[in-house]
Structure 1
Amino acid sequence: MFYVSRQTVGRHRALYAGSFIALAVGVFLLGLAATATAATIAYDGPLAASITVTTLGSPDTPPEQLRVPTTDADVSGLQTVLSMVGTLAGFITIFVIASTFAFAVASRRREIGLLRLIGATPRQVRRMILGEALVVAIAAALTGAVLAQLATPLLLSKASYTELAPVKLEPASPWVPLSIAVGAGVLVAMLGARSAARRAGRVGPIDALREAALEPPRIGPVRIAFGLLFLAGSITLLALIRPSTGEGVMPLAMFTPMLLVIALTLLAPLIVPWISRLWSLPLTRWTQVSGLLARSNVIAAPRRSASLAAPILSISAIAGSMVLSLSFAADSAEAAIRDAVRAPVVVAGSQLSSTTGVAAADAGIPLQFVRISQDDAQLEDAEGIDPAVAVRTRQLTPIAGDLARLTGNTVAVGKETAGFEHYRVGDEVPVTFLDRTSAKLRIVAIVPDAFGANPTFLVPLELARKHAPTAEPERIFVLPEPGVDLVGKLDNAVPAAEWEAEQAAGVRKGDQFGLILLLGPAALYSAIAIANTLLMGSLQRRHEFVTSRLLGATPAQIRRMVLWESSLVGVVALSLGTAITVTVGILIRHALTSGVADVPVTVPWGVLLGIAAICLTLAVGSALAPTTYILRRSQPSGALD
């Protein structure tokens, strides 16, 4: 049977070219992420620039020694981004392969019916389809792995000495990461082809006599059950996006759209026809015949339409949700910084050029320490403050506890970290300072968060000077005496509003950089997937187009029909993606801005509309190009072949 599968793939090269390219690109991205991650793991950094600590342990996990980097040579940020890139690439690969194999089976329904007519059993048909998937998967996975190995040095050279990896990274041994990528690619292909193989096994001998490529009017109960199950899981995740979620809000912004995409893709044969009818109302009134034919094709072939819409839905929903969520997160950070700073003047530097007219100067001392937990240890940023001065220049009204008790070995913790780590007033936080001395800091207050203004941990000024004697303030919040304008009198002094705007701009710039690294490869892969899927769909309709010519349709009329059909499928997919984006965005904004007044609303319309325009352009172009090619090389007499 495997021999038959190989022969079938060779005979249907054009049909499986899209699957091969899609899977090769998917394995390429997975392999690139795996080899780059291996390089970050192989990099240990200088031994002198690290601290060895022992975790606290628990009844289930014994204490463990960990070496924590204490310099900027920390590549954990790149590891996080690479893991997310691998997750997105694997997720999109599953959908692309599933949709392309489903389309391949649907387009070969008559051929499979002939096999059943001459005695092939359903089990043999399923084995043949899975064998075809294995042939394509092995060839594509090996191709993607080779390309990933060739591109790894270039990626590491670009990633070295950046914000995410401020060190020189060298390629590590590629065998383990590439083996994982190849294995994942083959597994993804087999999972994606499994449902298509089961569907092929249900094709009956009577399908050999069909001239029209009509699809069954219903989808199976198992698919509906799983679609509803994923939809219920999506609703559960949506319910978790609330102010009390804390640091888990942004991961939910990434994984919730994925679950919604799975649910809508499974239920797409039921949903796509209804939405198509709504969007086709103005289309049919404007275009008449070509619009009616386009609507009929989309509604009559819901499985094919769902397969074509899947890659557009996935990238529009995931990319749109993350773009909107990061924009709202930056809005929230901007408002939090504004509310956190009470002083009207900020001095960039470590010293004041003059103290004349200064009522209070909040010059915090930055320091770092390794915070030790039960099973982990992390390098944390902290600041030594004088509570009596800081409460006048910053919004540090405690949510719990008393900041006046910040003396000796004590600490005030930000709200989000306290919630995530389940810290309470009176708890002790084991830490090791960079001078290798250890201490247990007792929590005396839980304070509001304000990225850029208040670090997560605040310690007494004397404690900071003791463990970081050479550290200097990075900025000073200055409270002038009544009626005194210090902006023109102090060096490097700017109004607080200007400083806050600079901090907010830095947050948005960092978000954009992370978004490019995260969504750039996934967007490129999705663009290839959209083009492949639409090309496959159009190339398999040669007989339909030629028959239409035989009935009197002109090439221009067929091209217009394909134009409206691909546009309709694209608009339906974008409508579902927009619904997901808006739903997730509204919930994310509510979770991030709860309790913060006058939060600006920044919607990146240019980016969102650009995503929609690119998806729609790819959908239309990828459908029209092969249609034009077929019409130029085919004659109406070809319908009799």
Structure 2
Amino acid sequence: MLSVTLRTLRTRWTAFTGSFVALCLGVALLTMMGLALASTITAPERGPERFAAAPVVVKGLDTLRVPTPLGARASPLAHPRPVPDTTVALLRRLGPVVEDRSFPVRAEGGPADLVGHPWSTAAYAPYDLATGRAPRTVDEAVVTGDWAHPGQRIRTGHGTVRVVGTLTPRGFENAVFFTDARAARLGSSTAQLVVHADPASVRKAVGDSARVLTGDARRLADADPGRDREALTAMNALLGTAGGVTAFVSIFVVASTFAFAVAQRRKEFALLRTAGAAPAQIRRSVLAEALAVGVLASATGCALGARGAPLLAARLVDEGLAPAWFTVGEHTWPYHAAFWTGLLVALSGASAASWRAGRTAPTEALREAVMDSGPLTRGRLLCGAALLLTAAVLTALSLVGDPSDLLHRKTYISRPMLLITATALLAPLVLRPLTRLLTCLPSAVGLLVRENTATGVRRTAALAAPVLVTVALAGSLLGATATLRQAKATETRDRTTAAFIVTPAAGAGFDADTLRRLRAVPGARVSPTSSTAVHVLEDGVALIRSEARAATPGALAATTRLPLVAGGPGDLDDDSIIVNEEWRRHRVGDRVEVWLGDGTPRTLRVAAVMPTGTGGNGVYVTPRNAPGARVDRVDVAVEDGTAPASVAPALREALGAGGGRVLAREAWLRATHPDTNRTTRLGLLLVLGIALLYTGISVVNTTVMAASDRVRDLAVLRLAGATRWQLLRLTGAEALTAVTAGALLGVLVTCVNLAGLWSALALLSVRPTLTLPWEALGTTAGVCALLAVATATVPAALALRRRPAILAGVRE
């Protein structure tokens, strides 16, 4: 059997090319992603940046820690506590203390992410003066980079300053340094400070009132110290999802290719059976072919993946998905994982085909007509039915138990795979009537296409299946994200009743003077709100953080329509809280123990309850229960009898130059329309790109494999009087019919998947709108159709160049 296997691989190399390319590409991608994932696991922690030269940094408490029977639970505070004044006084006795106050800055012609610092902290990065000198008066400043030069006067949200020097940029921030006195007035209370003293003495003086940071721990005093870890986590999710889709699609393509190849070789297997080969020998022959292809493809894929991994890492860095220092390290386990996965995929994809090959009867060698009888095997039918039932049961359980689970990214990315696989397995049941419906036009070409696709349903299924998978993936994934975005936009539109929304400058908040001027605008009813958070301990072990808004009840009711299922916004006071149905205790009147945004424990009464919605229905508290929160949004309702056109200019005047923006309701809704997270969007595009690439491989391979079987049929039609153009139209129409059938089934699967999401949104009290990504569906189907028609007609055109009598005499 080994010699038969080798000769088969040599003579039928076209039948195995698609499987080889698919496996090789899959193993290469798995190797690249495995090496990248392994490098994230062993990636070092980023070192300190702003305080790399500081001896000791004391930082205010920024983490809530709650003891539980299973150990302490921690969660970041929305409003970190400043270093207490008494602690600062004790530290000054130990040595020099430099207080750090950071605050956002808006400057004409400057970067959007400018941040202000006191000049005395510049030495701890350390920054070096490139030009000019240090600031000495309150109207002087020093900037990083070359966007301003000494002597230039720039307007900022904190007044006009004169640049007296520039610093060599360090790469981690765009900063403006003021004098210490000016920074103390512009910044908030002391969040952190540098102490020139013995660390042990500092820890003794600080006690439990703050955190003492030394060594690499000083990085925790930098802005967003966890950004690298968050980026690596997001990258892991992206690469893991892409790797899963790669394995899923590759095994699908390999299984489809081997199934079609076995169907083509029925006479060959029948002759071997006639010559005395046992069914087990036939099965071993097919598996040996898969093993040979799998070993060669996996080894080649590992080699390609080793070369591609550094390019992938560089691309991830360029796209901002990985930290700038990220590189691929030396690891061996990704090669083993990718190689053996590729081999397993090859054997798994060929196993079903090998059993069908082993059941080939010797009498098949006597058949002249090639017609598929019973293209759906019992095993395929059972697997498809089981997957279809599993998909239905899982969706039903989610809708009954926790509809919000269907809104999670990991669910709407992974769950559709079940229905897609089930539909692809069961597709032969509906392909014959579907293709007959698509070719019902009364014409000779239509009749031939109808009969050819009906008799060669295996060939049609092999061509339609990858199109189905790709169209269904594109529709389900992009449709889910579009539907969720539309649902969130609908929630925001229904909730916002204010005529105007006032937002501060980037990263800033409104001060008391600005709020007083806004409230003084004639005909305007102002509702200032703040971003905050509350924490609750559920079941005594799980510390749950909920995003919240702090608002004054009366003003809130005038500018916002909260989607309440119980209670009312007017019931909110300093002793109560508005929660949503996700909370374990969410009955009006219940008292819940919470920790506020700065870690203060409180026991509050549930005043009202909101539905879960898409996840944006957070918590509402009063400003008294949001200590440290700065007003970051002001909703403005126009009183009866007041013209909105007269209110908007007055609001802008109250803000002053650079104090923020005033947007009408519709303009604000357009500006804040929810968009897909960039990492999620790139991940979806990567997944769909992989699926489309595999589909192209499968379509090309299937049509090329089928071309050799169609040569005699085309010759007979040519002898019967058909022209070359008619035959080319016939082959193109057959390929186009199969692609259209697969695309229609893909759209059907998309609609079913999105129907589950639509039902979940309806159960969560959201007015959902089913959104189908027609552009992506059309583009995917069009690319598949173009590939199929081209790869079907080109071999046919080459074959028809020979004389029909010679082609008709060809024997398989």
Flag whether TM exceeds 0.5 (same fold): yes
User: What is the DSSP-based 3-state SS (H/G/I as helix, E as strand, rest coil) of the residue aligned with 2:800?
Assistant: helix
| One-letter amino acid of the counterpart of residue 183, structure 1 | W
1:447 pairs, out of 605, 610, 613, with: 610
Contact 2:501 2:668 in 1 (8 A): yes
Q: Deviations over 1:207-235 (max 9, x none)?
A: 23333333334543332222222222233
In 2, Cα distance between equivalents of 1:450 and 1:597? 6
State the match for 1:268 in structure 2. 427
Deviation (angstroms), 1:267: 2.3
Which residue of structure 1 lines up, in the alignment, with residue 176 of structure 2? none
Match of 2:440 among 257, 277, 281: 281
**Letter of the 1:21 counterpart:** V
CA contact (8 A) 1:330 1:508 kept: no
Note the C-alpha offset of 1:494. 0.7
Aligned partner (choices 640, 648, 653) of residue 487 of structure 1: 648
Larger radius of gyration: 2
Paired letter, 2:636: V
- Alignment match, 1:478: 636
Q: In structure 2, what is the Cα distance between the partners aligned to 1:176 and 1:509?
A: 30
Corresponding residue of 1:313 = 468
CA distance in 2, matches of 1:55, 1:43: 30
Q: Which amino acid is 1:615 matched to?
A: C
Contact 1:348 1:475 in 2 (8 A): yes
Partner of 2:254: 97
Please list the CA deviations of residues 72-101 of structure 1 after superposition, one character each: whole Å capped at 9, or x if unmatched. Answer: 331333333333222322222222111100
Q: In the TM superposition, what are the counterparts of 1:306-385 in structure 2 within 5 Å?
A: 306-349=461-504, 350-351=509-510, 352=514, 354-355=517-518, 356-357=520-521, 359-367=524-532, 381-385=547-551
1:161-208 C-alpha deviation (Å, 9 max, x unpaired): 757556653224442233222222222221111110000101122223
AA at the equivalent of 2:565? I
Number of the residue aligned with 2:26: 26
Are residue 147 (structure 1) and residue 304 (structure 2) matched?
A: yes
Query: Is this contact kept in 1: 2:431–2:461, CA < 8 A?
Result: yes
Evaluate the alpha carbon distance shift between residue 316 and residue 110 of structure 1 in structure 2; reply closer, same or farther with a 3 A threshold: same
1:402-455 CA deviation, whole Å, 9 max, x = no partner?
7656647x865444x44xxx454558677796x7x5858768354356779x66
Q: Give, in whole Å, the separation in 2 of the partners of 1:132 and 1:438.
A: 68
Kindly provide the CA deviation profile for residues 355-405 of structure 1, in whole angstroms up to 9, marking residues without a partner as x.
222754443333468887788778765444444543433333543577656
**Partner SS for 2:634:** strand
1:37 shift after superposition: 3.1
* Range with bigger deviation, 374-383 or 550-559: 374-383
3-state DSSP of counterpart to 1:281: coil
Counterparts of 2:275 and 2:532, CA distance in 1: 78
Deviates more, 1:342-351 or 1:42-51: 42-51
1:318–1:42 Cα change, 3 Å: same
Note closer, same or farther for the CA distance 1:519–1:377 as it changes in structure 2 (3 Å cut).
Answer: farther
- Counterpart amino acid of 1:364? T
Q: Residue 231 and residue 394 in structure 1: after superposition, are their counterparts in 2 closer, same or farther (change >3 A)? A: same
For residue 392 of structure 1, what is the amino acid of its counterpart?
A: A
Q: What's the counterpart of residue 456 of structure 1?
A: 618
Q: Structure 2 CA distance, aligned partners of 1:322 and 1:112? A: 42
Compared CA separation, residues 339 and 122, structure 1 to 2 (3 A): same
Q: Does 1:224 align with 2:381?
A: yes
CA deviation after TM superposition for structure 1 residue 237, in Å: 4.1
2:783 corresponds to 1:620:
no
For the Cα contact (< 8 Å) 1:373–1:430, is it kept in 2?
A: no
CA contact (8 A) 1:326 1:511 kept: no
Correspondent of 1:130 among 284, 287, 295: 287
* SS of residue matched to 1:213: coil
CA contact (8 A) 2:438 2:737 kept: yes
- The one-letter amino acid of 1:10's match is R
Output aligned runs, 1:585-604, within 5 Å: 585-593=754-762, 603-604=772-773
1:294 aligns with 2:427: no
Structure 1 residues 261 and 390, CA gap change in structure 2 (3 angstroms): same
Aligned pairs for 1:543-558 (under 5 A) are 543-546=712-715, 548-549=717-718, 553-558=722-727
Aligned to 1:258: 417
Instruction: Pick closer, same or farther for the CA change 1:601–1:293 going to 2, 3 Å.
Output: closer
Residue identity in the other structure for 2:464 = A
Within 1, Cα distance between the matches of 2:694 and 2:418?
A: 19
Distance 1:371 1:72 in 2: 25
Which residue in the other structure is 1:576 paired with?
Answer: 745
Distance 1:450 1:233 in 2: 26
CA 1:236 to 1:546, structure 2 compared with 1: closer, same or farther past 3 Å?
Answer: same
Q: 1:257 to 1:462 in 2, by over 3 A?
A: same
Distance 1:114 1:603, change over 3 A: closer
2: CA distance, partners of 1:370 / 1:597: 25
User: What's the offset of the Cα at 1:496?
Assistant: 1.8
CA 1:187–1:263 in structure 2 vs 1: closer, same or farther (change >3 Å)?
same
Q: 1:366 to 1:92 in 2, by over 3 A?
A: same
Residues 414 and 455, structure 1, Cα contact 8 Å, conserved in 2? yes
Superimposed CA distance per residue, residues 231-284 of structure 1 (whole angstroms, 9 cap, x where no aligned partner): 2223334545749601424555444542223222222232211212222212xx
- Aligned-pair identity in percent equals 29
Structure number with higher strand proportion: 2
SS in 1 for 2:673: helix
What does residue range 154-165 of structure 1 map to in structure 2 within 5 Å?
Answer: 154-160=311-317, 165=322
| Greater relative CO (CA pairs within 8 A, separation 6+) | 1
Q: CA deviation at 1:544?
A: 4.1
User: What is the TM-score when the length of structure 1 is the normalising length?
Assistant: 0.84
Decide whether aligned partners of structure 1 residues 487 and 571 sit closer, same or farther in structure 2, where only a CA change above 3 A counts: same
For 1:548 and 1:320, locate their aligned partners in 2 and report how far apart those are by CA, in whole Å. 39
Q: Which moved more, 1:273-282 or 1:513-522?
A: 513-522
Deviations 1:314-354 (A, max 9, x none): 11122112222322222211110011223221112022473
Whole-Å separation in 1 of the counterparts to 2:770 and 2:406: 22
Aligned partners of 1:259, 1:446: CA distance in 2, in Å?
36
Give the corresponding residue for 1:178. 335
Alignment of 1:491-530 (within 5 A): 491=652, 492-504=661-673, 506=675, 513=682, 515-530=684-699
Distance 1:537 1:63, change over 3 A: farther
Q: Distance in 1 between matches of 2:34 and 2:68?
A: 30
**Contact 1:129 1:193 (8 Å CA) reproduced:** yes
Q: Say which is worse superposed, 147-156 or 627-636, in terms of deviation.
A: 627-636
User: Any idea what the Cα deviations from partners look like across 1:88-116, whole Å, max 9, x if unmatched?
Assistant: 22222222111100011111112222222
In the TM superposition, 1:399-438 aligns within 5 A as: 399-400=565-566, 404=571, 407=574, 412-415=578-581, 417-418=582-583, 422=584, 424=586, 426=590
TM-score, length-normalised on structure 2? 0.68
Counterpart Cα distance in 1 of 2:72 and 2:340: 32
- Residue 309 of structure 1 deviates from its aligned partner by 1.2
Q: 1:219 to 1:601 in 2, by over 3 A?
A: closer
- Mind listing any 5+ residue stretches in structure 1 that lack a counterpart? none
Cα distance in 2 for residues equivalent to 1:438 and 1:34: 44
User: What is the Cα deviation at residue 487 of structure 1?
Assistant: 1.9
